[in-house]
């Protein structure tokens, strides 16, 4: 089984400055091994990427060999730009990327196929986690995005922990496939990792409750145990 299909999992989000990486990543691989913690990958967002992606990847690699997923929303562009972007990030050493699904099927298809060509994991955002995110989006859009991601054999989709009903609907679409659901919005945004896993999420993205914690490593250990316990309960009920 490749890292892309390993479930359940925890994805720490590194939305911080370069200076804070050392504190957050110190001992993270040891936590994963010694505590059998399900840390799946590390997510690098646009804020950190602006400080120089190549430098960031090198810095992270000083502390961890975990897969790195790039979350840069400007990747949501026209197909020709998406293809070039995927080729570029692959050459830098990124292991996966996230695309906003609202760009439509042509760009999504180019993204997934380009990632497959470069042997990168591909994730499509079906719905975002913050208040107002769905104001201008049709109710059926997340389902359509999930179906397209499934048909293209993407690695997974992104559904928010703040909207468990969306997770449930998309999980039903993905049933029987290898695709997983990445779920942000845990903690300060109001979503719960436990309820997200019970609704069908496979990978929990943890941001502020991780990097603003007084003990980030302990936070990962506790949250890892929680999602494993909920995952076991969820799968025993099916």
Distances (CA, A) of 187 to 94, 162, 184, 196: 27, 9, 9, 11
Residue 47, token pair as written in the block: 């804020």
Residue 59 burial by Cβ neighbours in a 10 Å radius (0-12, 13-18, 19+): middle
Distances (CA, A) of 54 to 18, 61, 65, 200: 12, 11, 15, 34
- Number of H helices and E strands in the chain, helices first, is 11, 8
DSSP 8-state assignment for residue 35: T
Helix, strand, or coil (residue 154): coil
Indicate which residue of 74, 84, 88, 222 is catalytic: 74
Active site (annotated) includes residue 84: no
As a whole number of angstroms, the distance between CA 180 and CA 204 comes to: 11
Chain-centre distance of CA 27, in angstroms?
A: 21
As a whole number of angstroms, the distance between CA 166 and CA 158 comes to: 10
Q: How many CA atoms lie within 13 A of 141 on its CB side?
A: 20
Q: Residues with catalytic annotation?
A: 74
């Amino acid at each position: 089984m490749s890292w892309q299909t390993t479930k359940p999992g925890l994805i720490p989000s590194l939305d911080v400055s370069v200076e804070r990486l050392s504190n957050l990543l110190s001992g993270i691989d040891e936590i994963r091994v010694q505590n059998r913690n399900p840390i799946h990958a590390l997510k690098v967002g646009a804020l950190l990427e602006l400080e120089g992606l190549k430098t960031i990847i090198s810095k992270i690699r000083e502390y961890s060999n975990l897969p790195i997923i790039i979350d840069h929303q400007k990747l949501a562009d026209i197909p020709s730009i998406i293809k070039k972007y995927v080729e570029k990030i692959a050459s830098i050493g990124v292991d996966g990327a996230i695309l906003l699904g609202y760009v439509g099927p042509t760009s999504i298809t180019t993204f997934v196929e380009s990632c497959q060509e470069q042997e990168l994991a591909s994730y499509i955002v079906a719905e975002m986690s913050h208040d107002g995110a769905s104001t201008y989006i049709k109710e059926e859009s997340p389902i359509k995005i999930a179906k397209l991601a499934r048909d293209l054999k993407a690695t997974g989709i992104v559904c928010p922990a703040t909207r468990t009903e969306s997770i449930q609907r998309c999980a039903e679409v993905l049933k029987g496939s290898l695709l997983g659901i990445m779920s942000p919005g845990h903690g300060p945004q109001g979503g719960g990792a436990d309820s997200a896993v019970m609704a069908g999420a496979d990978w929990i993205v943890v941001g502020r409750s991780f990097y603003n914690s007084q003990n980030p490593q302990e936070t990962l250990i506790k949250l890892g145990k929680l999602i494993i316990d909920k995952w076991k309960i969820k799968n025993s009920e099916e």
